[in-house]
């Protein structure tokens, strides 16, 4: 499984890279803030919402600490998606937040 550090994603965000971030945390968790531009798809909803994703784009998957996003990456990779797990999740992320 491909992984990325929070420092790497912050550098990409600072460079205004066009990122496709999926946040698989629960609703109450995303209320605390998300990575700017992230799409919220709770882990349990991933199977029925894969049709919303574009298989030609790479995705970065994030959760609170990295475990649930790793599970989501395993599932999505098996479906043919190019996915990268954010190591340490939002606990390790200290960049800008977006509130929805």
Report the distance separating Cα 2 and Cα 9, nearest Å.
13
List, in order of start, the domains of the chain with CATH numbers. Answer: 2-92 (3.40.250.10)
Among the listed residues 34, 26, 41, the one whose alpha carbon sits nearest the alpha carbon of residue 81:
41
Decide if pLDDT at 100 tops 90: no
Scanning 15-66, the segments in alpha helix (DSSP H) are 27-30, 46-49
The yes-or-no answer on residue 73 being catalytic is no
pTM across the whole model: 0.97
Predicted local distance difference test score (pLDDT) of residue 87:
98
pLDDT digits (tens, 9 = 90+) for 31-81: 999 999 999 999 999 999 999 999 999 999 999 999 999 999 999 999 999
Query: Does the CA dihedral 4-78-68-36 come out positive or negative?
Result: positive
Which of 63, 72, 73, 76 is flagged as catalytic?
A: 63
> What are residue 32's phi and psi, to 5 degrees?
-85, 0
Report the distance separating Cα 53 and Cα 9, nearest Å.
20
Report the distance separating Cα 51 and Cα 58, nearest Å.
15
Predicted local distance difference test score (pLDDT) of residue 61:
98
């Amino acid at each position: 499984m491909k992984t990325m550090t929070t420092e790497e994603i912050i550098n990409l965000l600072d460079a205004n890279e066009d990122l496709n971030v999926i946040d698989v945390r629960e609703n109450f968790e995303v209320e605390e803030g998300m990575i700017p531009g992230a799409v919220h798809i709770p882990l349990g909803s991933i199977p029925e919402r894969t049709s919303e994703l574009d298989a030609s784009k790479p995705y970065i998957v994030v959760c609170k600490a990295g475990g649930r996003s790793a599970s989501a990456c395993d599932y999505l990779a098996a479906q043919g998606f190019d996915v990268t797990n954010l190591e340490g999740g939002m606990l390790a992320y200290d960049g800008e937040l977006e509130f929805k």
